[in-house]
Amino acid sequence: MNTTDSLVLAKLARQALIDKKAVDPVVLDVRRLSSVADFYLIATGSSAPHLKAIGEELHHKLQTAHLTRNRRSGEANSGWLVVDCGHIIVHLFLPHTREYYALEELWSDAPRVK
């Protein structure tokens, strides 16, 4: 997958988050900062059931796009789900968990994708 494809995928994933009313979805371009992924997506769900629904919508949209590499880790009740899409890593948090881990601060050198 080239970086143009991963950007398109990141935007598709962000739209899936928006479709399920995720709060403050952010796409960080980490291509120059990390060898793990091209983009990190970070978003918040309002409750554990909402977090689960966001994760399921993301999984569905990625399957529809024929992205087979789509592994999920974590449980909604823990406050943090991670979806590994290869070149895109999606972090879904409950509000207090997102604030605690502060990934946007950790990756503050990464440009935000509009």
What local confidence, expressed as pLDDT, does residue 4 receive?
Answer: 64
pLDDT by residue (tens digit) across 22-38? 999 999 999 999 988 99
- Residue percentage of the chain with pLDDT more than 90: 66
| Whether 106 contacts 29, CB under 8 Å | no
Average pLDDT on 100-104 reads 95
Neighbours of 100 (CB within 10 A): 11
Confidence of residue 114 (pLDDT cuts 50, 70, 90): confident
Average pLDDT on 64-74 reads 73
DSSP symbol at 113? P
Q: Note the pTM of the prediction, 2 decimals.
A: 0.90
What residue ranges define each of the domains in the chain, with the CATH number in brackets? 3-106 (3.30.460.10)
What local confidence, expressed as pLDDT, does residue 1 receive?
Answer: 55
